Amino acid sequence: MSEFPQPSELLPHRPPFLFVDEITSLIPGQSATARWRLTGDEWFFAGHFPGRPTLPGVLMCESIAQVGALAVLADPRFAGKLPLFGGLDSARFRRQVSPGDTLELIVELTRMSARAGKGSGRAMLGDSVACECELMFVLVNT
């Protein structure tokens, strides 16, 4: 049994838009690491692309953002808040991700205030970077 909460205990996201299966590291207000296991049954694989199912890059960015939200929402200072995307910079897609793959999602929060923050994240496929990006978000009341 994991020492960390289930992602759905911190995130408001629910299937089919919850892209985090397991939290593997969590330092509230600072960083988080999690896994997303892609089974091939996910709704987007059927159309992206028939015959060569590929995880859309924007969903990798969303999964990274969800892991960043875990680090934010685990911090008691941000109770009753919801982090919303404010921007995405320097996104790079380096590896194709396919059914059966497991992504290791790593986010470090680089700046936090009472109303907004920034973070840096990457999605790893084994030892290879599949995606990396810089996140900006605003905090709103729930």
7: Cβ contacts below 8 Å, ≥ 6 apart: 13, 18, 20, 21, 22, 23, 34, 66, 70
**Active-site hit among 13, 35, 48, 95:** 48
What's the CA gap between 139 and 8, in Å, rounded? 19
21-26 contacts: CB < 8 A, separation 24 or more?
23/70, 24/104, 26/70, 26/71, 26/74
Does 13 qualify as catalytic in the annotation?
A: no
| Catalytic residue IDs | 48
